[in-house]
Amino acid sequence: MSEESSSPRYKSGREARSEGRPRAASPVAERPSPHDLDVERAVLSAMLRDPAYCGSKAVELLSAPGSFYSQVHREIFAAYMRLYNASASGIDVLALSAELQKAGKLESCGGLPALAELENAIASTYNFDRWCTMLRDYATLRNMINVCSDAIRKCYDGEKDAADLVNEIENDIYKVRGDSDGTSIVPFKESVLAAFEHINKIINKEEEPGIMTGFPDLDNMTGGLKRGEMFVVAARPSIGKTALALNIIRNIVMKNQPKTTVLFSLEMTHEQISTRLICTEADLSERAFRDGNFRNQKDMMRLTSAVSNLKNAPLFIDPTGGLTIAELRAKARRMKIQHNIDLIVIDYLQLMQGSGNEESRQREVSEISSGIKSLAKELKIPVMVLAQLNREVEKGTASTLPKLSHLRESGSIEQDADVVVFLHRDRDQAKNLPPGQSVEAKLIVEKNRNGETGYVNLEFYPSRMEFVNVRYTTDDRPSAEKEQKS
């Protein structure tokens, strides 16, 4: 660049406006997409020479013609796929030639002589798996370039809301990542050895079966919150499911080796959640701040101590209301990449929204439920979901226990969930209860895909919104050491 072109000068209105426009071409657009034609030829040659192994492996690893850069190679692979789907045996140059002829593509692919030359392009199929990996990597890079180019175009078009567009682009990028993971089929030999190693670590106390909730009776029954599982906690309104979830979160993020957790709260603000956690940790009631009973020195010490204990907890809060399943998926994936989160908590499922294409609310909830289960498997972490029960459970007496059929709006929740736990208590018992007094509560493990079902007895302290395992006193709560009461 010359001095004249680099020095500042007055720009006309037309020049100034044109600076904000995208250029007609970019250095990226002028460059060929990542590829290696020699490797593509080697893969196709190996598939023709050894259909039994190389053909099957290529169909599994590459799966689509888009794995090839050359249009000719795409046509050949597509024809090979059609033959393979019809019959995995008997694929050779003549059969492939006939298939291409049938599709009207033989001439454009060079005819029978070109196919015969292709079959003899390599001397050995020894490095076939590596060649397939190289093709898949090149295809991933091309897909990423296409996604980024399309994202730029969408940003300039401005046809969608900015937040929706960002979520859509994130989903497209993560799909590229997922597509590059290769085959999901695992040989049983590898699986059983990995399972044995995991069991051995649990036996030797080197690893927990899952993330412990801090409620020993519940953990003994379910093994904690396990990777890839959807853990549902359901109750009627005002029974305390949010309080229970926050108690579990507090137990998880406050232990010696805390687990990074993200809470998607569709009902409460982040300030309300933080206030609730602080009060539980400080053994104080929120009411004390409002009615003038806040004892300045002692209570303030508890308050500041609670804040000090909690401030470095690895907890993230997303208070977005009306969260869609697509937004949840995009945000969770981003948090997994950026912060390697160990647990997702959603409060609560029925406040979420689907894609908007469903004919009924029941189908929408089904889409949300299956989306959450898929997310847990994809990220390989547990997802704890709060859910509401329908009014049928209240038509009985106060002692009537909830059942799976009481899950509100969709039966798919009980199908998708690995564990379903009902929180139950008599709501009237907590009315006008003196501070420090507790009421009985019960956790009902109604479904446990990988374990037993049963009951867990709890005590609920409404003044500080805390549930405690009955065999443990308040002094044994899994929190920082509390000040002796006067």
SS3 state of residue 318: strand
* Burial of 446 from C-beta contacts in 10 A (0-12 / 13-18 / 19+): buried
In sign, the C-alpha dihedral spanning 400, 404, 407, 409 is: negative
Report the relative pairing of strands 343-347 and 383-388 from DSSP bridges. parallel
Q: How far apart are CA 358 and CA 364, in angstroms?
A: 6
Q: How far apart are CA 180 and CA 137, in angstroms?
A: 7
Residue among 170, 328, 350 at smallest CA distance from 263:
328
Q: How far apart are CA 339 and CA 333, in angstroms?
A: 10
Number of Cβ within 10 Å of residue 452's Cβ equals 9
Q: How far apart are CA 349 and CA 367, in angstroms?
A: 11
Q: Is 190 a residue of the active site?
A: no
CB 106 within 8 A of CB 97: yes
CB 463 within 8 A of CB 435: yes
Q: How far apart are CA 258 and CA 309, in angstroms?
A: 13
The backbone torsions φ and ψ at residue 449, rounded to the nearest 5 degrees and listed phi first, read -60, -30
CB 430 within 8 A of CB 243: no
Q: How far apart are CA 334 and CA 233, in angstroms?
A: 25
Q: Crossing angle, helix 37-49 and helix 111-119, to 10 degrees?
A: 90
Number of Cβ within 10 Å of residue 47's Cβ equals 28
Q: How far apart are CA 60 and CA 204, in angstroms?
A: 38
Q: How far apart are CA 303 and CA 280, in angstroms?
A: 10
- Tally the residues of the chain: 486
Residue by residue, DSSP assigns 44-109 as HHHHHH-IIIIIHHHHHHT-SGGG-SSHHHHHHHHHHHHHHHH-SS---HHHHHHHHHHTT-TTTT
Distance of CA 140 to the CA centre of its chain: 21
Q: How far apart are CA 90 and CA 51, in angstroms?
A: 8
DSSP 8-state code for residue 393: G
Residue found by looking up tokens 């406040």 in the block: 351
Catalytic residue among 15, 60, 107, 267: 267
- Catalytic residue numbers read 267
